[in-house]
Structure 1
Amino acid sequence: MNSVVAADYSIPANGDVTEVAPGVLWLRMPLPFDLDHMNLYLLDDIDGWVVVDCGLGNTDSQDVWERVATEFLNGKPIKKVIVTHAHIDHIGAAGWLCRRWNVPLWITAGELQTGQEYFHASEDSVAQLRAEKSRFLHRMGMSSEQSAGVVDLSSSIATLVQPLPVDQYEIQDGMKLEIGNRQWRVIVSEGHSVAHASLYCEALGVLISGDQVLPRISSNVSVRVDNPEGNPLLSWLHSLERMKELPEQTLVLPAHEYPFHGLRQRLSELDLEHRDMLTRIEQACTEPQTVMQLVAVIYRRKLSLFDQLLAGGECLAHLHYLLAEQRIRREEGSDGCLRFTR
């Protein structure tokens, strides 16, 4: 069940903007993926604009930004770039934007570290990272062919991120940013990424939620190769609960799909969706299963290589949660693959 109420705004065409609150513009940025768009936001800062999220680091995104600057910003410059988190569709064009307008990047320390990992100084470090990813994927039960394809895909995805600017400012949980004579409070969440920053303006009753809360789908929550024993689902569920402190009538501006009302109910639905997934995965572990064997049971559709990576990482996140609760056990086979059973 989905009880959110879509806000009464027409979805802008790709590359266009619409005002969704006083001084808040919604920009629809095209993406060349199955999820074919993302939502970016521009905040009127009196003598300029603050950008929240950036799009991919490719010429298509740059062309959109140049058009937006010409047609919609009323001759005022971009003054600041804020990135909610370091996934490629959010941080990809950040370096280009910052250099284009000679402005700083505002980002949490955890996400900055993730963003810097798209760039490697030597061939040796690249080779080491590829080896670590291959081992991680093998332990999940991917074949050599699958893991090689995923590693190659990860490398190609990294090319969609522009080098980050030197001028950087750290944003932290609870920090209040003054933008256009209004205060926006930073809310840092873990689970979907290392330190995802959402922005809440009490005066406007608006939450720019990034990927933390979406109206129809759940953001991916995966175990990452740089933290192979992590429990991101536990962090994610705690983050959802914390956001219930915000008013129910809050206008939520997400990074995908459409603005909506019904925040607390949506947070509860997301929690229930993941707990239902925990039950289904636990029930599937009647005999030892690799992560990818469980993916085939849980996700009953044909998955692309990228979807296999997301599904595998998310399945592993749920398994780690179940391990922490001692509802399942794990063993490593002679083939180096991990297997889970009740």
Structure 2
Amino acid sequence: MSLLLSPYDLAGRTVRNRLWVAPMCQYSATRGMPNDWHHVHLAQFAAGGAGAVISEATAVLPEGRISPEDVGIWTDAQRDAWAPIVAAIRSRGAIPGIQLAHAGRKASTWSPFTGARGSVPAADGGWQTVAPSAIAFEGYAEPTALDEAGIDRIVAAFGAAATRSVAAGFEILELHAAHGYLLHQFLSPLSNQRTDAYGGTLENRARLLLRVVDAVRSAAPDAAILVRFSGTDGAEGGWDSAQTATVATWAAARGADFFDISSGGLVAHQSITTGPGYQVALAAEVRRATGLPVSAVGEITSGPQAEQILTAGDADIILAGREWLRDPHFALRAATELGEPAAAPWPPQYVRARPRI
């Protein structure tokens, strides 16, 4: 069997294959509540053969939402709304995951569906954003620099969100420390200009993330914890793969199980060239520097391409996003492309359509 279709052991649970669904924002919630759209959207990928399905960035506090239409898990009502969605993913054979997030200075922005860009004014439902330092993302409102009490509140919120996530049935908890959101803002010297225990040295800039790992691990001792990093800011003087590898090692020592390597999102002047598999090299650098398991993501669109990444030793898992939107049965198709259609987890209702090779 190909590596892509072979099972993977993740923190004591067996995931049926190595082609997973990456978090993808839907901007379709009201007051942070997931709804029927999220149910159908996520469950279809499990029916399409995904090994694991990770929900979109889910805010741990209302002010942590990217937009007013983002989902959350800061209330018990939201926990209960997630539960049937999680059950639908699991009943179709995939492992359910949730990405826990706080957008920091990139919060309170217009949904892309509105056609507007930038920060939402308070009069239109926006709010004051927070960040490590009072430095705005280009074109957005200036955030308030967090004090220690504010930092403590965020750590506690991640822990509480982890508790609710496990109660809802999620088995994978991904901490979003990428794409220019709050945990990434603390990691990068381009957005973190603090002079206290949370700024300056790499150890200080990583302090918030490591405290969050501790809180989530304490709240969810049996869950698989993933950390999503941007492997580079794509800007001079910013975050890079060497710092990513170092902090991943520290996070692993605190209980993180796996690392999801993406890129960019911190600054508008980033220089990142996209193309097929354009972030794979970053994942490979972290994997080889640390020996830790990583996933690759970014314009991975076929079974043979994904298989080559795994056989080259560049990653342990393939995460895909837009290809699942184009084809919610990506894993079933990938198996056929690899000449192994029967090795894919075809739902019994669909077996009559399985290609014969």
Q: Which has the higher strand share?
A: 1
Structure whose alpha-carbon radius of gyration is higher = 1
Q: By the TM > 0.5 criterion, same fold?
A: no
Q: Could you state the TM-score of these two structures normalised by the residue count of structure 2?
A: 0.31
Q: Could you state the TM-score of these two structures normalised by the residue count of structure 1?
A: 0.32
